[in-house]
Copies of this chain bind each other. A is one copy, B any other.
């Protein structure tokens, strides 16, 4: 493929050859080993050799494959093991752990790379005629199981890899809209828009390896969602190919034309159809931006400061407040200081400690926009933060965070060599419930991690994605799996931790997910989230759009139980 630079290695995150640069962060590994109670054996949980992996045998798809080749050309219909393997799972801990252990019991029979809207129309027709299922696939970074075929389905399975559909179709600079194809990866979008002085402003943690189509299908949120909105807020028009026809919405700034079809299509996780075009709001590249890092004596102080700041109307473009545990991680993970900075670091730390910042909470903060307005926003915000006893570490650590923000997923692969279970869980809730949900979730995670692994592990959290009404609460955990576990047992331990996290969020007033999607991981809770009648109406809608159930049948709206929420099948 021409865009192989966006293809994950088969066993983990990111391109083959790119790994976490632990050498550049000498304090980190000792800290992690201690926190995650990991041993010193990098081969505790070695990954199998690629040659050992046995994919489930492909179904006979010869006539379907020939018909597909007529549409997209020979080289864009693939049935080789390499292609099947990189399209079988997303990139949750469960996914990566299974790949590393060679547990691959579901894979597409064919991977097809459409070149444009018309190809997709033909492919959906052919799939219908041949009784095959279709799973749209962007960058494959999803952590909720949205791109995985259910192993029970006897029908031929096609995964539709959208990466060839990576064109900027049109720009309307006067209206600040861009018509984009769904297979564009994050960096490709910004590269295409930059010559026009424009940006989409969407930077999720998966930015480098995820696509516009994937973001739309799962209601993604970027780091600057405070000002640019979640991906659903950015859509002005869409084209979606369903098995019963093409839905197309016109590119309008706003309308009163019945229920908003765009919002029905966004978040449908490939179960209604295939997105082939999206007209998106874009923005001028900000005239001025300011990234910095602040400290608060406690997470609670930082929470109070952010809450007041947002409610007083001083919304930062980015705010990511780490709790004390995650702040420790951030300081351990930083590149070592040199020269003057190193000389001053020791005394500065002592001073901070003496002032009550013994175990502080770090806030990464950004403002961006027209220079003077942005300066005024920052002034107002900083005045509020000062009341909450902030200590401004300045721009340098903020910039460092910005530069290394896409590195963390690589770290998980590194830790998994040592037998770690590591993943992230996220929710959102209203301000009045945020600290309560934080405490409850912390306690629930602490307990379940201890119960299932026998270790304490690391539990870190941050608040990000601010709204006037609330915010996202994001957890990262890392813990050694129970002594002597098989890979399957480690996955079972993960399943229980994941189940408790989700149950705690939903029963504690939080969202099932803020930006990771539903998939099969969160599907057991979807009825509680949407109400019985709400879920039923979406299922009925799916039935009308996709009467044969060929679109992502194991996904969001599947009526059967989850395929492998318990790690077995």
Which chain A residues have a beta carbon within 8 Å of chain B's beta carbons?
Answer: 172, 174-177, 218-221, 225, 230, 232, 236, 242, 244-261, 263-269, 281, 283-284, 307, 311-314, 369-370, 372-373, 376-377, 379-380, 428-433, 465, 467-472, 509-518, 522, 526, 529-534, 536-538, 540-541, 544-545, 556-557
A200 to B409 alpha-carbon distance, docked (Å): 41
A472 to B255 alpha-carbon distance, docked (Å): 9
In the complex, the answer to whether A518 meets B432 with C-beta atoms within 8 Å is no
Which residues of the partner chain B approach A267 to less than 8 Å between Cβ atoms? 256-260
A263 to B534 alpha-carbon distance, docked (Å): 12
Q: List 13 A-B contacts (CB under 8 A).
A: A176-B468, A177-B469, A244-B536, A247-B534, A253-B467, A253-B469, A254-B465, A256-B514, A256-B517, A258-B529, A281-B468, A373-B376, A376-B376
A373 to B532 alpha-carbon distance, docked (Å): 45
In the complex, the answer to whether B245 meets A533 with C-beta atoms within 8 Å is yes
Which residues of the partner chain B approach A379 to less than 8 Å between Cβ atoms? 372
Cβ distance A260 to chain B, nearest Cβ, rounded Å: 4
In the complex, the answer to whether A221 meets B258 with C-beta atoms within 8 Å is no
Partner of A432, one of B175, B259, B263, B369: B175
In the complex, the answer to whether B513 meets A256 with C-beta atoms within 8 Å is yes
How many copies of this chain sit in the oligomeric assembly?
2
Nearest B residue (CB) for A244: B533
In the complex, the answer to whether B511 meets A219 with C-beta atoms within 8 Å is no
Nearest B residue (CB) for A465: B254
Known: A267-B257, A518-B257. A174 touches B432 (CB 8 A): yes
Partner of A283, one of B260, B468, B532: B468
Partner of A512, one of B218, B255, B467, B529: B255
Which residues of the partner chain B approach A175 to less than 8 Å between Cβ atoms? 430-433, 469-470
In the complex, the answer to whether B430 meets A253 with C-beta atoms within 8 Å is yes
In the complex, the answer to whether B254 meets A467 with C-beta atoms within 8 Å is yes
Which residues of the partner chain B approach A541 to less than 8 Å between Cβ atoms? 537, 540-541, 544
Cβ distance A351 to chain B, nearest Cβ, rounded Å: 32
Partner of A247, one of B258, B369, B471, B531: B531
Which residues of the partner chain B approach A533 to less than 8 Å between Cβ atoms? 242, 244-248, 545
Which residues of the partner chain B approach A428 to less than 8 Å between Cβ atoms? 252-255
A522 to B283 alpha-carbon distance, docked (Å): 32
Partner of A313, one of B311, B312, B373: B373
Which residues of the partner chain B approach A537 to less than 8 Å between Cβ atoms? 242, 247, 261, 264, 541, 544-545
A249 to B247 alpha-carbon distance, docked (Å): 25
A432 to B269 alpha-carbon distance, docked (Å): 32
A510 to B250 alpha-carbon distance, docked (Å): 9
Cβ distance A1 to chain B, nearest Cβ, rounded Å: 28
Known: A259-B538, A263-B260. A311 touches B176 (CB 8 A): yes
Which residues of the partner chain B approach A250 to less than 8 Å between Cβ atoms? 509, 511, 529
In the complex, the answer to whether B518 meets A430 with C-beta atoms within 8 Å is no
Which of A172, A263, A537 lies at the interface centre, i.e. has the most chain B CB atoms within 10 A of its CB? A537
The 7 nearest A-B residue pairs measured at CB: A253-B470, A245-B533, A263-B263, A175-B430, A540-B544, A219-B256, A255-B511
Nearest B residue (CB) for A433: B175
In the complex, the answer to whether B255 meets A259 with C-beta atoms within 8 Å is no
In the complex, the answer to whether B531 meets A249 with C-beta atoms within 8 Å is yes
Known: A258-B529, A314-B373. 9 other contacts (CB 8 A): A218-B256, A221-B254, A250-B529, A253-B471, A255-B514, A257-B513, A284-B313, A372-B376, A533-B545
Which residues of the partner chain B approach A312 to less than 8 Å between Cβ atoms? 284, 370
Which residues of the partner chain B approach A470 to less than 8 Å between Cβ atoms? 175, 252-254
Nearest B residue (CB) for A264: B259
Which residues of the partner chain B approach A517 to less than 8 Å between Cβ atoms? 256
Partner of A269, one of B220, B258, B370, B373: B258
Partner of A256, one of B248, B509, B515: B515
A471 to B284 alpha-carbon distance, docked (Å): 18
In the complex, the answer to whether A259 meets B268 with C-beta atoms within 8 Å is yes
Which residues of the partner chain B approach A242 to less than 8 Å between Cβ atoms? 533, 537
